[in-house]
Amino acid sequence: MNPAHDHPQAEFRPIRFWLLAGGLIVLIIGLSLAYSRMLQTALPRPELPVLATIKGDLEAVERSGRAVRFSDLRGQVIVAAYLYTQCPHGCAAVTAQLQKLNQEFTGHPGFHMLSVAIQPGRDSTTLLKAYADAVGATEKSPWWFITGDRGKLWSFMTDEVGMTAAKPIPKEERITPDDEFEHDLRIALIDGRGRVRGYYAVFHPQPEVAALMGERLHEHVHQLLGHPHP
């Protein structure tokens, strides 16, 4: 009698092996991600830095034609950025992030956004209203589009908010005839006490960096509003 025939060895099936191994790897990754998310939720988030404190005020004209002040928004979490309706550079990326925030936080009493005209001589209330309508900002949206005295607008954004000062672009370097000023394309995040807590380069030559900045902006807005980022 041949012992090999009495105790046949199990046949090795590579397909079944790799399916089981792959399933086990997916399970381990899923559990790791779930555990990581649980830790992020359970552990306190580090405080955001205070990068500047806004002490002055700004008088401007909203797209509706009414006079507004920055101090009207005290107590709210504010997202602020420059806007140029004819911008050939990265204003579209900035507006896209603000649109996402508008969709998410419309109706939240503690949140507001501020788009500041970089070239108020061109961007009148009429143009700003048309632009706001085009990007889905209604009268109920927590989103001001403001224009006014260029010197005051620039001074507030530079001296108070801490944005990089705008400067003229030489004619030979302009992409279009309307491409008159180089301006900061970051978004500033301001808490309810008027403190700037972050700047976010949502327009960046590296798409991965731009995506990361957008994600951090949303996360930090949630953090300042006091509820977890979904």
8-12, 91-95, 204-208, 217-221: range with highest mean pLDDT: 217-221
Give the pair of three-digit tokens for residue 150: 């260029």
| DSSP annotation of 54 | -
Under a CB-based contact definition with an 8 Å cutoff, are residues 80 and 200 in contact? no
Q: Give CA angle at 168 (167, 170), nearest 5°.
A: 140
When the pLDDT of each residue in the chain is averaged and rounded to a whole number, the result is 85
* The pLDDT value given to residue 230: 56
Q: Where are the domains of the chain?
A: 11-42, 52-225
Q: Is the pTM of this model over 0.85?
A: no
Identity (one letter) of the amino acid at 152? K
All residues at 6 or more sequence positions from 216 whose CB lies less than 8 Å from its CB, including other chains: 198, 200
Tokens 């989103």 sit on residue: 143
What average pLDDT does this structure show over 184-194? 95
pLDDT band for 35, please (50, 70, 90 cuts): low
| DSSP annotation of 172 | G
Q: Does domain 52-225 correspond to CATH entry 1.25.40.10?
A: no
For residue 93, pLDDT beyond 90 = no
Report the C-alpha gap between 167 and 180 in whole angstroms: 9
pLDDT digits (tens, 9 = 90+) for 207-228: 898 899 999 999 999 999 987 6
pLDDT digits (tens, 9 = 90+) for 44-70: 668 999 999 999 999 999 999 999 999
Report the C-alpha gap between 178 and 155 in whole angstroms: 22
* The pLDDT value given to residue 12: 56
What average pLDDT does this structure show over 145-151? 96
* The pLDDT value given to residue 205: 76
More confident residue, 134 or 169: 134
φ/ψ (deg, to 5) at 31 = -65, -40
* The pLDDT value given to residue 228: 61
Q: Report helix angle 207-225 to 91-105, nearest 10.
A: 30
Distance (Å) of CA 12 to CA 9, 25, 171: 9, 20, 73
More confident residue, 71 or 37: 71
pLDDT digits (tens, 9 = 90+) for 104-144: 998 888 999 999 999 898 899 999 999 999 999 998 899 99
User: How many Cα atoms within 13 Å fall on the side-chain side of residue 109?
Assistant: 1
Give the bridge partners for 146, in sequence order. 62, 116
β-strand pairing of 195-200 with 111-117 = unpaired
For residue 229, pLDDT beyond 70 = no
Give the pair of three-digit tokens for residue 54: 């806004």
